[in-house]
């Protein structure tokens, strides 16, 4: 099965997404620092911690990869085989 998707990405959409992710990250930071109460004996699985970091980094990189090149028109073609 071949799936082909044509997506039009402009600069405004990329900047909007980056801005919304920044707001989300700041909100999560404030929530972690001032709202959540953690148990003194509570621990977090290292794999879940690494997975969270990888998720946020890969999401940011995906936005940058889909952002248009300033020298080209903001059109990308994605194909899955």
In terms of pLDDT, which residue wins out, 55 or 69?
Answer: 55
Q: pTM for the full model?
A: 0.60
Rg (CA), the chain: 18
Give the model's pLDDT for residue 43: 83
Once rounded to an integer, what is the mean pLDDT over residues 41-47? 85
Phi, psi of 13 (to 5 degrees): -60, -40
Give the model's pLDDT for residue 50: 93
- 3-state class of 55 per DSSP? helix
Q: Where exactly are the structural domains of the chain?
A: 3-80
Give the model's pLDDT for residue 16: 85
Contact 21, 60 (CB under 8 A): yes
SS (H, E, C) 17-39: HHHHHHHHHHHHHHHHHHHCCCC
6-39 pLDDT, tens per residue? 566 677 777 888 888 889 889 988 998 899 888 8
């Amino acid at each position: 099965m071949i799936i082909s998707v044509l997506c039009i990405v402009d600069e405004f959409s990329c900047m909007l997404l980056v801005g919304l992710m920044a707001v989300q990250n700041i909100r999560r930071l404030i929530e972690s620092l001032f709202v959540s109460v953690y148990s003194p004996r509570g621990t977090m699985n290292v794999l879940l911690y690494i997975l969270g970091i990888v998720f946020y980094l890969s999401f940011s990189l995906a936005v940058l990869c889909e952002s248009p090149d300033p020298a080209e028109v903001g059109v990308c073609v994605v194909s899955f085989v």
